[in-house]
Structure 1
Amino acid sequence: MAAILSRVADVRLIRYLLASVGALAVDMGAFLALLALGTWPAAASAASYCAGIAAHWLMSSRAVFADSVAESGGARTRQKVLFVGSALLGLGITTGIVFAGHNAGMDPRLAKVGAIVISFVATWLLRSKVVFRSELTE
């Protein structure tokens, strides 16, 4: 039984990684477009991350955690709030790293890459262990 659960978790992680790549494409596309328009790098990072959040919810709730998405009502609202909370943590991590990197003279695109890795790990842990926990969907 443990082997089956481990395999399911591995598949879910792969789906989450693919959803994250899709959301990252939205995030980075918007980030680079905003930088090209002359937007302050930390603000561009925050705005583009928000666009990625919306894309990630759609992909996560339909392809990654579809079996543990709350049907409707209070449980679904609670799940969305927790998802947004995890996204805000990721936003804070991403914006903070880009801000610090830019202030330290680092290319904001490189700072964003480092932020992506750290934010991915933090949000995966929160979403897999808290947001889409089956006890919350009942």
Structure 2
Amino acid sequence: MVTQANPFRSTRTAGFWLAAAIAALQGLNAVRTVLDPQGFATYMGLPVDQLSALGWVQVYGLRAGFIAVLTAVLLARSDFAALRWMALAALLMPLGDAYLAFSAGAGAPIVGRHLAIAVFLLVAALFLGRAAKAREMQP
């Protein structure tokens, strides 16, 4: 009796679900910057008190929307190697956010949240790398 190996299913990997969370959360951030830019700026630890500054919050939101769409496209293609590199490159954002929030006098909970996001991205990169290797091993 010949047994066949189980086919690779991307949705059965932790990397898939961590990347899906990245896409969903970035999409949520994009929506929040449109609906409540001032509230989102405060959430990020960089409150704005001038209407002219709210445009920059929405610029952030457009970029978050791009990240959400790009992540979704790479997920649909099961391109875990690209997602891994994207997660590693994305570390610049929460680390920069933590620095900016700290410099603006944000409290430890906000700075800590940014640092926790950086840890999340590192964990996601680890699992995405594993998923990429598992996918490569499939015939």
Q: What TM-score range do you get, normalising by the shorter chain?
A: 0.3 to 0.5
Q: Which has the larger radius of gyration?
A: 2
**Structure with bigger RCO (C-alpha 8 Å, 6+ apart):** 2
Is the helix fraction higher in 1 or 2?
1
TM-score (normalizing by structure 2): 0.33
